[in-house]
Amino acid sequence: MTAYSFRKIWLAGAVLAFSAGAQANIVTSVKPLGFIASSIAEGVTDVEVIVPPGASPHDYNLKPSDVQKINSADLLLWVGKDVDGFLAKTVHRIDGNKVIEIAEMDGVAELLIESEHHHHDDEEHDAHEHGHSHKHGPHDVHDDKHEQEHQDENGLNVNWHVWYSPKISAMVATQVAEKLTTQYPNKKAQIEKNLQNFDRTLQLQNEKIRTQLAPVKERGFYVFHDAYGYFNQAYGLKQKGAFTINPLVAPGAKTLAEIKAEIAEHHVSCLFAEPQFTPKVIESLSKGAAVKIGRLDPMGDSVKLGRDSYVNFLQSTADSYFHCLSK
């Protein structure tokens, strides 16, 4: 065999292996949507998530392997261009019947809420009231792009973390089941069973979380990323506001002083950071203010995909809240 023909065979094999490896049947933009999809697709087909753990959908760039996955997907589930902007160019290449865009689903618009950075008196509504953190210093300039991407075409500052809404997620699950049934008619019974399981366990989980969080409902808290509005609304929690700080850079004395003043004024029990915050940031905050530091993980990095993963995700968020607020 000549070196040339050997190389030709090797290349053909490599291309084949690549396309086989990239064969995903349901692709979701972010992991929490993967929780909904994989609960419905259990025993039917595989689910893959594009944005990897630790990365942010706000500044993600598609890799060639992502494009391959999307092009060969039976179903693509995404929120929409206002939050998953990195998919906007690729989506139009796929058959529209294979796409679920949550922002465009019937009944979703009336359930959307705005990001609430201002839980304050009118003098707080200063020049930065374009949906930005009300404490605006050099430490939070990096977040302007993130905030603008959350605005819809009417300039409203929509909270697009819709996977935290049990109502919207149940609607998404139904839509996923419908699309999958069309594509896998022989798995219709399994898909129906999965959807019934999803709805039943979600109802039970809602009750369980409401009961769990009832004792801490009145305790105020702040977050560093206004991602939890739907969860707070569903379970009656009292978020007082949101600060914007760079999770990788420890806040300076001025920022700490501002945070401390806010905490004292609003009798805040907890400040919630997220997994990307460095230990140094957490340390300077817990030292710099007489407040407990909790952790919330809006991408569910610690939760595995599969049956019941969506309710497990909600439960892990509830546990994080309870852990800090009950102290």
Backbone angles phi, psi at 153, to 5 degrees: -65, -20
pLDDT for the residue numbered 196: 98
Question: Tokens standing for 279?
Answer: 């230990």
pLDDT for the residue numbered 3: 56
Of residues 168, 173, 216, 171, the one with CA closest to residue 318: 216
* CA–CA separation, 175 and 36 (whole Å): 11
Residues 36 and 169 sit within 8 Å (Cβ to Cβ): yes
- DSSP letters, 158-175, are B---GGG-HHHHHHHHHH
Question: Tokens standing for 100?
Answer: 């679920």
* CA–CA separation, 106 and 57 (whole Å): 24
Q: Can you give the pLDDT of all 327 residues of the chain as single tens digits? A: 555 554 555 444 444 444 444 445 899 999 999 999 999 999 999 999 999 988 888 789 999 999 999 999 999 999 998 888 899 989 988 899 999 999 999 999 999 999 865 332 222 332 233 333 333 332 332 333 344 345 555 556 899 999 999 999 999 999 999 999 999 999 999 999 999 999 999 999 999 999 999 999 999 999 998 899 999 999 999 999 988 888 888 889 999 999 989 888 988 999 999 998 999 998 888 887 778 999 999 999 999 999 999 999 999 999 999 999 998
The helix/strand/coil state of 56 is coil
Domains 3-103+163-205 and 117-159+217-296 in one fold: yes
Q: Which residues contact 110 (CB under 8 A, 6 or more apart)?
A: none
* CA–CA separation, 320 and 109 (whole Å): 29
Of residues 224, 212, 244, 55, the one with CA closest to residue 140: 244
* CA–CA separation, 132 and 74 (whole Å): 38
What homologous superfamily is domain 117-159+217-296 in, according to CATH? Nitrogenase molybdenum iron protein domain (3.40.50.1980)
Give residue limits of the domains in the chain: 3-103+163-205, 117-159+217-296
Token pair 């019934």: residue: 196
pLDDT for the residue numbered 149: 41
* CA–CA separation, 92 and 114 (whole Å): 28
**Fold (CATH) for 3-103+163-205:** Rossmann fold (3.40.50)
pLDDT for the residue numbered 18: 43
* CA–CA separation, 38 and 15 (whole Å): 28
pLDDT for the residue numbered 301: 92
Of residues 191, 68, 194, 231, the one with CA closest to residue 48: 68
Question: Tokens standing for 230?
Answer: 């739907």
How many of the other CB atoms lie within 10 Å of CB of 126? 11
* CA–CA separation, 186 and 238 (whole Å): 47
